[in-house]
Amino acid sequence: MTTRTSHRAPQRPSPARRAALIALGVALPVAVGVAIWEIGLHHTPQYTTDLFGAHGDAAVTLKARLGSALFGLAVVQLLLALWMYGRLPGLAAGPRGVRLSHRIVGWAAFLLSVPIAIHCVRTYGVETTNTRVFLHSVAGCALYGAFVAKVLVVRSRHLPGWLLPAAGGALFCAIGVLWYSAALWALNGFAVPGL
Instruction: Measure CA of the first residue to CA of the last residue in the chain; give whole Å.
Output: 72
Strand partners, 51: 54
Name the phi and psi angles at 9, rounded to 5. -65, 150
Q: Does a structural domain hold residue 103? A: yes
User: In the predicted model, what is the mean pLDDT of residues 141-167?
Assistant: 90
Q: For a pLDDT cut of 70, what percent of the chain falls above it?
A: 95
Q: Does a structural domain hold residue 195? A: no
User: In the predicted model, what is the mean pLDDT of residues 43-60?
Assistant: 95
State residue 13's pLDDT score. Answer: 74
User: What is the residue type of 13?
Assistant: P
For residue 88, pLDDT over 70 is answered with yes
pTM of structure: 0.88
Q: Does a structural domain hold residue 171? A: yes
Burial degree of 185 (CB within 10 A; 0-12, 13-18, 19+): buried
Residue span of the structural domain in which 35 resides: 29-187
Q: What is the chain's mean pLDDT, rounded?
A: 92
State residue 10's pLDDT score. Answer: 60
Domain count, the chain: 1
Q: Does a structural domain hold residue 62? A: yes
Q: Does a structural domain hold residue 162? A: yes
Please name the residue ranges forming H helices in 85-195. Answer: 96-123, 131-155, 163-178, 184-187
User: In the predicted model, what is the mean pLDDT of residues 156-182?
Assistant: 92
Q: Does a structural domain hold residue 42? A: yes
Model confidence at 5, pLDDT cuts 50, 70, 90, reads: low
Q: Does a structural domain hold residue 6? A: no
Q: Does a structural domain hold residue 5? A: no
**CB-CB contact of 114 with 52 (8 Å):** no
For 102, 137, 180, 189, the CA distances from 185, given in Å and listed in that order, are 28, 14, 6, 7
**CB-CB contact of 187 with 69 (8 Å):** no
